[in-house]
Structure 1
Amino acid sequence: MRLPAALLLALSCAAPSAAQLHPVPALPPVVTLPLPTPAPVQSWTRVPGWNPAADYVTAGQDEPGYRRWVLEQPWRQSAVRQFHDYLTASGVSFVAPTWQLLRTASDWQRCGAQPFEVPPSEDWPNIVNTLRYVRDHVVPRVGPVEPVSVFRNAGLNRCAGGAPESVHRSMSAVDFVPLSPIDRPGLIRRLCAEHQVEGPRYNAGLGFYTKLRFHVDSWKYRTWGRGDHGEVACPKVLPPAPSVPATDVIAAATGSGATTTRAASVQAAKAAPDPLDKDPLAPLR
């Protein structure tokens, strides 16, 4: 028996039975979690006119030079990333910007060498203890530091006049300059005092070159270099530190005529962040 079209239309529009309903479950209430309070951002800014790295870092070994170098060969970005990740896993990334830790020798141009080089991965462990010492016992004493020379392959080391047994060849050594204003006697005194106490357990070597360039490695406990008057830079027994308010005069280096008390300088160095809370160039994405 055929049903009239009007009846079929009425049946199709009828409300579904209760058994046919599938109620949508209520959504859980939205929970708004408070945002974590961001840690205060410590800033470190260069003092105008103070750039001791300029004595050693030439065009091509600076930031623009690094960018050009890393983009010249596609594999370099990956190599830098792996090195940076290794430092991070070892707890020593951001002691200094990773890209600066790839600087070779200050004489790279004269020697026809590369301004930067990613060392062989088997040498990477050699820099870890050096950076730990710098992080824990150099930066707290003199403030942030900038690497100006790190790994040197055998040919570059020979051309640059490095000792045949130089630990720059195995990436244990880093030459630095301080980024906070300090004179050379103050730099030597602070680093020698810390090295005398903490250096032995790191096998830390500490050496001083001209101006404000100094060397740190973790190959053997020793010191070398002389002060401005020919005296041994780090005597075995250091004289007592002068009482406050002795001053470290930085006017000669900055031309500012400013002085700062030793106590204030040490406190500022301890409060200064590593270079240190960010590293925009390493690894390059």
Structure 2
Amino acid sequence: MQKFTVGAAVAAALSLTLAPATATAPVAQAQPAGGIAQAQLTSATASAATAAVPVRIDGFAQDNGPEITPGQSRADFAAWLARSPANRDALTEFQNHLNANGVGDVVPVWQLVRTSSSFRQCGAAGFEVAPRDKWDNIVKTLQFVKRDVVPAVGPVQPVSGYRNPELNRCSNGAPASAHRHFFALDLVPVSASVSRRDLVRGVCAAHARDGRTYEAGLGFYSGVRFHVDSNGFRRWGPNGRGATSPCVTGA
């Protein structure tokens, strides 16, 4: 397991329990969750007092799996969090929204706010909380990950999520990219024991079984990195076509 040495400010951020924050009402597809902080964002939402909700910034599992992009480690996240109260507040609201929709425990939220592997080349931040109006988009994706992907291949970690318009353009993303609207996650298995063959077999079976229910898109990169979204049922391979999907070719 990779270990990081961080300064006092970073260490404080890693152990921080954040104050309660606002959360919108659960989306229709989500299962209800009890004991979750709710606060008024609009006249249509109600407020309720609960205990503080800690933001999950715990480390990776014992086996970290494939190495992530430099600059997007747990220590880098802690430094980003410590730099701005606005980062902390936005992250807490986001965590509360995920909790309210029953998906707050699918992956640690600090991994969920990673942006793009090319963030440095694009002069962008390695972490960013998506705009609030896009939070419901990722809820459905996380439901598919929780109920189908994780049982198939074990715990996963996000390596890319929301990309703002500038970063999306720099990353050669389509104007209507699923990452641009926070439907999408690029994921890798936490365990290094998961082979590409295991990954393809497990995730393709999950997608064939329940992908239509979640409107899930599924694409594969090289190695064990893969893409999941909830922006339309489809699958694709290296050239973006369904016929080259590893779910079809087995490669």
Using the size of structure 2 for normalisation, the TM-score is 0.71
Task: State the partner residue of 1:92.
Answer: 103
Which residue matches 2:128?
117
CA pair 70-45 structure 1, distance change in 2 beyond 3 A? closer
1:195 paired residue among 185, 207, 225: 207
Distance 1:77 1:173 in 2: 23
The equivalent of 2:80 in structure 1 is: 69
Secondary structure class of the residue paired with 2:202:
helix
1:91-170 matched pairs, under 5 angstroms:
91-170=102-181
Find 1:205's aligned residue among 204, 214, 217. 217
Q: Which amino acid aligns with 1:234?
A: C
1:120 Cα shift? Answer: 0.6
- What displacement does 1:185 show? 1.7
Cα displacement string for residues 238-279 of structure 1 (whole angstroms, at most 9, x for unaligned residues): 9xxxxxxxxxxxxxxxxxxxxxxxxxxxxxxxxxxxxxxxxx
Which runs of 5 or more residues in structure 2 are unaligned?
A: 1-59
Alignment gaps of 5+ in structure 1: 1-43, 239-285
Is 2:194 aligned against 1:178?
no
Q: Read off the aligned partner of 1:218 and give its amino acid letter.
A: S
Distance 1:171 1:189 in 2: 26
> Aligned-pair distance for 1:45?
4.4
Measured in 2, the distance between the counterparts of 1:80 and 1:212 equals 28
| Superposition deviation, residue 165 in structure 1 | 2.0
Query: Counterparts in 2 of 1:213-252, with a 5 A limit?
Result: 213-225=225-237, 232-235=245-248
- Aligned with 1:177: secondary structure? strand
TM-score (norm 1): 0.62
Q: Percent identity?
A: 45
1:273 match: none
Cα deviation, 1:212-259, whole Å, max 9, x if unaligned, reads: 110110110000115xxx9531229x9xxxxxxxxxxxxxxxxxxxxx
Q: RMSD across aligned C-alpha pairs, in angstroms?
A: 2.0
**1:105 partner amino acid:** S
Higher relative contact order (CA 8 A, sep 6+): 1
Change (3 A) 1:172 1:223: same
Please name the residue that 1:248 is paired with: none
Cα distance in 1 between the residues matched to 2:111 and 2:244 = 32
Q: CA deviation at 1:107?
A: 0.5
Equivalent residue for 1:57, pick from 69, 72, 79: 69
Instruction: Report the Cα distance in structure 2 between the residues aligned to 1:190 and 1:67, rounded to whole angstroms.
Output: 33
What do residues 54-89 of structure 1 show as CA deviations (whole Å, max 9, x unaligned)? Answer: 1x421x211111111111112111111000000000
Deviation at 1:177, TM superposition (A): 0.1
SS of the residue corresponding to residue 202 of structure 1 reads coil
Q: Number of aligned residue pairs: give it.
A: 187
Cα offset, 1:170, TM superposition: 0.7
Cα shift readout 1:101-156 (whole Å, capped 9, x = no counterpart): 11000010110001100111000000001000000000000000000000000110
Q: Quick one: distance in 1 between partners of 2:86 and 2:176?
A: 30
Q: 1:30-41 to 2 correspondence within 5 Å?
A: none
CA contact (8 A) 2:236 2:244 kept: no
Deviations 1:140-194 (A, max 9, x none): 0000000000000011011112222211011110000001221112211111111
In the alignment, residue 46 of structure 1 is paired with which amino acid? Answer: Q
